[in-house]
Amino acid sequence: MLPTGFIQELLSRVDVVEVVGRHVELKRAGTVHKGLCPFHGEKSPSFTVSPSRQTYHCFGCGAHGDAIRFLMENQGLGFMDAVRDLAQRAGVTVPEGDASPEERARAAEQREKNHTLSDVLARAGDHYKAMLKATPRAVDYLKRRGLTGEIAARFGLGYAPAGWRNLASVFARYDDPLLVEAGLVIVQGEDDQQKRYDRFRDRIMFPIRSVRGDVIGFGGRVIDEGEPKYLNSPETPLFVKGRELYGLYEARAALRDAGYALVVEGYMDVVALAQSGLGHAVATLGTACTAEHVTKLFRFTDQVVFSFDGDAAGRRAAARALEAALPHATDLRTIRFLFLPPEHDPDSFVREQGAAAFEQQVAAAVPLSRMLLQTAQVDCDLSLAEGRARLLAQAKPMIELLPVGALREQLLAEVALAGGTTVEQLRVLWGPAAAPRASPAKPQPAARPVPRRTALARHAATLLDRAVWLLLQQSSLWQEIGADEHERLAAQPAPFGTFFALLDRCIHDHGVLSRSGLLEALGLAAADDADLTALLSRSAALHDLADGIDALADLRALLLRLQLQQVKDELTALIEAGEQSGEAMARRDQLIARQRELSAAVAAGEPQRSERRL
């Protein structure tokens, strides 16, 4: 658990302009910096970064937050990963909780080693890119595949020459153990009989990047005939095939624009689709889709389409992807499966028939619900009792993987119908596997003593404190307010913004939860954040919602006042920016008018709110 105040101390030691500037080209405009928003497509900059407030704000899409939130949203990092990233830049040690001094030392040593390995791989990547430019044969190959220099540069493509020891000219010590550990050099034999040679030879090189953009491995494809056609880096401390997705770093912005991720099977599929304007494709790395792959994808989007060849091997791969995706199939997520004609893969299809035809194929992709039923019916003769029994047996483990929700219940009903039985009979037959559960199928923290509940004095209850309290009392209120309000709340300073973001994720994944269930789920997620844990404890100690209080009206009144504050902040930022364009002046007038409107609305509601007590 992070100690109280650590996050604020960390943010005070980093400069949000420097953090954002690593990913967005910023130019000074008065007292702020401006650039093109990384969260939505735009041609003129509406994205500002304020050094004085240490926040960013987009006047186009409303994106807002601090340095930690930027890394989480832009890089797809988890909260602790974003904290560690900032701490490393600031030279701050992240408290390791209950870890022993030996464990902390080992962790620090491993982080330093990973950093060194990343440098080695980046240097090799630069060499491969230089070799591509100097090798007409490799350039001609890419041109024949329909790729331009622009797309090759975007993905950092390179070429590993045909020699056995080309990297000896790149690194001062060819016998450096780091070259072997990074997967760049192979060693055969022992002691004096050792032979060293480059792993990648005469191959087009595809750098595999982490979501931060660091090179963590390579994939190489032969130019002419040869086996294996594709060769990946071995697993290293940086690179684990079951966790990484090729092209995810490059696809981040396109994922937001397209609204879904397209998962394919090869590097060339990803690059060819990007060349055709479909930049939201990623690829697994020579392994079946895993639960970690799916988890990573859902950090960026709520819709995933898996694309497979239409042959038997493609169907088997789809079944494995289905198994990995089922635990993540909440009611508000969409998972589909695309099967191309047997003679095509995405690369050949889009080159032959074009991007529009490929998007038509995507539109006709099989939804997860139908895929589950089709998989359960494999080798089942439903005209026979034996076939129907087999269907039920094959469906059971898949139903068990689904999270609690309406989708699970509907699929249970469809499986029962296809199996010639009823949901009630199926519940008896399957027992707990088919029983409706009241809470998410997640490991829950040990029960905590319920704090004594006390009334909170009016002067001590801030607007955000009260909003937290109301939503803990009635989490259904979250679904009654709009997406704009969700964003406004999630953009509030920590720990409040963190609370609202986690609340949104809990309800998104599991639906409305009881007060106790919500506290348990949020408590589990807040285990590493002392400030958030303190907020939950403080809110849990308050009394229940009194009869006669209109909780929704109260919450909307609070949101009105928060919106007024946001308008004031945007107006101040606009004035500080010193922007004198017609568009800026029009926006200023709009904000002034909106400020007056909201101030009047807040003033009109004050008598009613003054009568309420928390």
Whichever domain contains 181, its CATH number is 3.90.980.10
Same-domain status, 142 and 181 = yes
State residue 66's pLDDT score: 87
In this structure, what token pair is assigned to residue 97? 């909780």
More confident residue, 89 or 25: 25
Decide if 444 is inside a domain: no
| Domains held by the chain: number | 5
d(CA 107, CA 277): 42
Q: Residue with structure tokens 């919602």?
A: 545
In a domain, 114, yes or no: yes
Q: What percent of the chain has pLDDT over 90?
A: 39
- Identify which has the larger pLDDT, 202 or 439: 202
pLDDT at 396 over 80: yes
Whole-angstrom Cα distance, residue 502 to residue 432?
29
More confident position, 509 or 377:
377
For residue 129, which of 215, 198, 50, 14 has the smallest C-alpha distance?
215
Q: What is the pLDDT of residue 472?
A: 87
Whether residue 97 has pLDDT greater than 70:
no
What single DSSP character describes residue 521? H
Average confidence (pLDDT) over 530-554: 78
Q: Report if residue 440 sits inside a domain.
A: no
Cis check for the bond before 237: say yes or no (omega within 30 of 0). Answer: no
Does 259 or 487 have the greater pLDDT score? 259
Question: Do 468 and 426 fall within a single domain?
Answer: no
The pLDDT-based confidence of 446 (bands split at 50, 70, 90) is: very low
DSSP state of 354: -
Q: With a cut of 80, say whether residue 493 has pLDDT above it.
A: no
Mean pLDDT rounded to a whole number for the chain: 83
Among residues 106, 127, 108, which one has the least CA distance to residue 182? 127
**Domain shared by 548 and 467, yes or no:** yes
Q: What is the pLDDT of residue 269?
A: 93
Examine the domain organization and report whether 285 and 332 are in the same domain.
Answer: yes
| Residue 613 CB-density burial (10 A; 0-12 exposed, 13-18 middle, 19+ buried) | exposed
Q: Does residue 385 sit in the same domain as residue 512?
A: no
Q: Does residue 35 contact residue 23 with C-beta atoms inside 8 Å?
A: no
Lowest model confidence (mean pLDDT) among 131-145, 176-190, 432-446, 450-464? 450-464
495: preceding bond cis by omega (within 30 degrees): yes
pLDDT at 335: 96
Please check the confidence at residue 264 and state whether its pLDDT lies above 80. yes
Domain identity same for 152 and 79: no
Q: What is the pLDDT of residues 518-541, one digit of tens each?
A: 787 777 666 667 778 888 888 877
How far is it, in rounded angstroms, from Cα 325 to Cα 308? Answer: 15
3-state secondary structure of 214: coil
Residue 379 confidence (pLDDT): 93
Instruction: State if pTM tops 0.75.
Output: no
Strand pairing of 281-283 and 215-222?
unpaired
* Rounded CA separation 519/120 (Å): 45
Q: Which of 91-95, 156-160, 302-306, 340-344 has the lowest mean pLDDT?
A: 91-95
Helix (H, G, I), strand (E, B) or coil at 338: strand
Task: State the pLDDT at residue 578.
Answer: 63
* Selected residue with higher pLDDT from 255 and 490: 255
d(CA 297, CA 291): 10
Q: Which of 408, 421, 317, 324 is nearest to 369 (CA)?
A: 408
525 lies in the same domain as 580: yes
% of the chain residues with pLDDT over 70: 86
β-partners of residue 232 are: 219
Domain membership of residue 241 (yes or no) is: no
218 has which bridge partners?
207
Average pLDDT of the residues in 17-34: 87
> Is 477 a residue whose pLDDT tops 60?
yes
- Under the banding of pLDDT at 50, 70 and 90, the label for residue 433 is low
Q: Which is it for strands 281-283 and 261-264: parallel, antiparallel or unpaired?
A: parallel
What separation in angstroms does the CA of 334 have from each of 303, 328, 330, 359, 369?
5, 10, 8, 16, 10
Task: Check residues 103 and 254 and name the one with the higher pLDDT.
Answer: 254
Taking Cα atoms as reference points, which of 206, 177, 179 lies closest to residue 119? 179
Comparing 5-9, 34-38, 259-263, which segment has the lowest mean pLDDT? 5-9
495 lies in the same domain as 606: yes
Residue 59 domain-assigned (yes or no): yes
Domain check: are 511 and 599 in the same one? Answer: yes
* 509: Cβ contacts below 8 Å, ≥ 6 apart: 330, 332, 403, 440
The pLDDT value given to residue 4: 61
CATH of the domain at 275: 3.40.1360.10
Q: How confident is the model at residue 608 (pLDDT cuts 50, 70, 90)?
A: very low
pLDDT higher than 60, residue 258: yes
Q: Which residues, including other chains, have CB under 8 Å from residue 395's CB and lie 6 or more apart?
A: 372, 373, 376, 415, 419
Strand order in the sheet with 203-209: 158-160, 203-209, 215-222, 230-232
DSSP string, 175-219: T-HHHHHTTSEEEESSGGG-EEEES--SEEEEEEE-TTS-EEEEE
Q: Does 551 reside within a domain? A: yes
What was the pLDDT predicted at 567?
79
Residues 382, 414 within the same domain: yes
The CA distance from 33 to 48, in Å, is 5
Give the pLDDT of residue 527: 66
The whole-number pLDDT of residue 149 equals 95
Question: Which range of residues forms the domain containing residue 165?
Answer: 103-232
Whether 221 and 259 map to the same domain: the answer is no
Do 466 and 590 sit in the same domain of this protein?
A: yes
Q: How many Å apart are CA 432 and CA 427, to the nearest integer?
A: 7
In a domain, 126, yes or no: yes
